[in-house]
Amino acid sequence: MQQSKAQLIIVLLFGTFIFLLLCAFIIILLLFFKQRQRQNLTEKADIHTAYEQAILQAQLETQNQMLQHVAEELHDHVGQMLAVVVLYLNVLHEETSETPYRERVAKLLTHTTMLVNDVRGLSKSLSTDTIARFGLVACLTLEIERINRADRAEQATLQVLGEPYQLGEQTEIVLLRMVQEALNNALKYAYDAAITLTLDYQPDALMLTVADEGPGFSMSEVDARPLTGSGQGLHNLRRRATLLGGTCTWQTAPQQGTRVTLWIPRKDKPVIDKSPTTN
Amino acid sequence: MVLYLAYYTVNAVAILLTFSHWRNEPNSLRYQWIYLLANLSSELYINQGPVKVDYTYVYNIIVIIECIFYGWLVGSQYRSMYARRVTYVSVGLFVILGFVNLILLNSLLSYNYYFLLRCFLFIIITGWYYYELYTSQSITLVTSLPSFWICSGFFIFCMGSFFVMGLYALIRHEDQALADMLYVAIIPSLNIVLYTSYIAATLCNRAKHNS
């Protein structure tokens, strides 16, 4: 009787122990697996981000090189040719001062001089050297002046809040291109409506806002557009902002204008590394 | 006695924590304090009551309440709607069976079978929860999920008490002292593990809200 009791206790305790062991094994296995899976997924996401960043960097470098080339051509070739034209027009203006063509030549001279200024402004706007030498605020000021000059009206205004600081050359080049794209969108869709560009230098981030008082648009309508009718502008802006570690948001509705807000965190070193990658 | 005291303390702490954080919890977790309170009240009622009285009906009621709350908690965590439906239907059937047992049978032996069935049901639904967790592509830290802690607590409790509680009536029939000795040695310890899991679940959820 005592022996059977002892056996019963042993069987019960052993059975319970085995069950608990199995239980612990299942839970520990699950924990290890999930930890490994989490690690793998995080690594995969990091690789994907690095890959996206490398692609963006390559795209930006190509774009910058192309724009730099166009800027140099505008400055060195078109600009020089226009300067020669202005020179000849000045001579012609002198020579025709006593003739009925005088006024027409004067108008031609004025328009050509304006064209020279526009080409110079465009050249500076496209050149990446400008941002390296003068910084983001100066480049954006130039951009606003260019818009106003082209429009012959004070359509665009720039507001700078806080104390400006450097975000790194590469980051500022990306930001300049993003703002140019946002301004171009505003000019394209807002027609003659007022455009306000605000740079808010906060202690930990730069908040850039491009607001227009144009007709606005419906986000759901844009999202529902078919492939042939959909632009890449909004998507590109968001992607670039994400890769700079920031965000890009829109506030818009039909007849209520559009506000594009870029939020870029302040970092000690540039987000996009220019150093060559090793294979 | 020390084990029982520790068990009641852990249960009381779990009630206080889950109740004080009930606003931060999702619905399935929000009302778990009711189950914890019902459990502690019943344990104290049995412990303080006369020794000769048969308290099987209290245990039967508690198992039904436990099943409702646990089934709700686990079912709400499932991604698969089919598994969720099956769980809710199983829990519903189990509750009906519980009432039948409570009203018509209410014996220690029938309670034991009912308890075994409950352990089996809990192991199956927890197993499915683990399977969904295993196949999930989410990068959320498993230990930051309150449901993971509670499910693990129930899993350990059900696996550990399967033999002792399942065979309790039979052993008691042969040797009451032995049955009581095994019960006192194992069940309070498993209960401590179970209610500690509620504390861990509440604390990890609080940490998540604070971060």
Q: Which residue of A has its CA nearest to B157?
A: A20
Looking at residue B36, what is its pLDDT? 92
pLDDT digits (tens, 9 = 90+) for A25-71: 888 988 888 888 888 888 988 898 888 878 877 887 888 788 888 88
Of B137, B140, B178, Cβ closest to residue A5? B178
Distance to chain B for A46, nearest Cα, Å:
13
Looking at residue B127, what is its pLDDT? 93
Residue A250, classed as helix, strand or coil, is: strand
Looking at residue A166, what is its pLDDT? 86
Residues of B with CB below 8 A from A41's CB?
Answer: 137, 139
Looking at residue A269, what is its pLDDT? 46
Answer whether residue A99 is part of any domain: no
Task: Tell me the C-alpha distance between B109 and B187, whole Å.
Answer: 18
What residues of chain B have any CB closer than 8 angstroms to a CB in chain A?
130, 133-134, 137, 139-143, 152, 155-156, 159-164, 167, 171, 175, 178, 182, 186
In B172-207, which positions are buried (b, 16+ CB within 10 angstroms) versus exposed (e)? beeeeebbeebbeebbbbbbbbbbbbbbbbbebbbe
Q: At what angle do helices B108-135 and B56-77 cross, to 10 degrees?
A: 10
Task: Tell me the C-alpha distance between A67 and A173, whole Å.
Answer: 12
Q: Which residue has the higher pLDDT, A216 or B94?
A: B94
Token pair recorded at residue A193: 């409506």
Containing structural domain, residue A170: 155-272
Residue A173, classed as helix, strand or coil, is: helix
Q: Which residue of B has its CA nearest to A41?
A: B139
* Of B100, B36, B23, nearest in space to B65 by CA: B36
pLDDT above 80 (res A220)? no
Q: Tokens 């094994």 sit at which residue?
A: A25
Provide ipTM, 2 decimals.
Answer: 0.75
Q: Which residue has the higher pLDDT, A210 or A225?
A: A210
Q: What angle do CA B139, B143, B145 make, to 5 degrees?
A: 75
Q: Which residue has the higher pLDDT, A188 or B76?
A: B76
Neighbour tally for B45: CB within 10 Å: 11
Distance to chain B for A29, nearest Cα, Å:
10
Answer whether residue A138 is part of any domain: no
Answer whether residue A259 is part of any domain: yes
pLDDT digits (tens, 9 = 90+) for A91-150: 888 888 888 888 888 889 898 988 888 888 888 878 777 788 888 898 899 888 888 877
pLDDT range class, residue A177, cuts 50, 70, 90: confident
Q: Tokens 């998507």 sit at which residue?
A: A235
One digit per residue, the tens of pLDDT, for chain B of length 211 reads: 788 899 999 999 999 998 888 777 777 788 888 999 999 999 888 888 777 778 888 888 999 999 999 999 999 999 999 999 999 999 999 999 999 988 888 787 888 888 889 999 999 999 999 999 888 887 778 888 889 999 999 999 999 988 888 788 778 877 888 888 888 888 899 999 999 999 999 888 776 666 5
Distance to chain A for B164, nearest Cα, Å:
7
Residues of B with CB below 8 A from A33's CB?
Answer: 134
Answer whether residue A264 is part of any domain: yes
Answer whether residue A35 is part of any domain: no
Number of H helices, E strands in chain B: 9, 0
Of A23, A31, A33, Cβ closest to residue B155? A23
pLDDT above 50 (res A276)? no
Distance to chain A for B188, nearest Cα, Å:
14
pLDDT above 90 (res A83)? no
Number of H helices, E strands in chain A: 8, 5
Cβ–Cβ gap B163/A22 under 8 Å: no
Task: Tell me the C-alpha distance between A162 and A158, whole Å.
Answer: 13
CB A197 within 8 A of CB A243: no
Answer whether residue A113 is part of any domain: no
Q: What is the dihedral of CA B175, B180, B182, B188, to 10 degrees?
A: 170
Best residue of A30, A33, A40 to probe chain B, by most B CBs closer than 10 Å: A30
What distances in angstroms separate CA A44 from CA A37, A84, B204, one per listed residue?
10, 58, 27
Residues of B with CB below 8 A from A20's CB?
Answer: 156, 159-160
Distance to chain A for B103, nearest Cα, Å:
31
Cβ–Cβ gap A42/B139 under 8 Å: yes
Answer whether residue A71 is part of any domain: no
Neighbour tally for A37: CB within 10 Å: 17
Burial class (CB in 10 A: 0-12, 13-18, 19+), B98: buried
A209: domain CATH number?
Answer: 3.30.565.10
Count of domains observed in chain A: 1
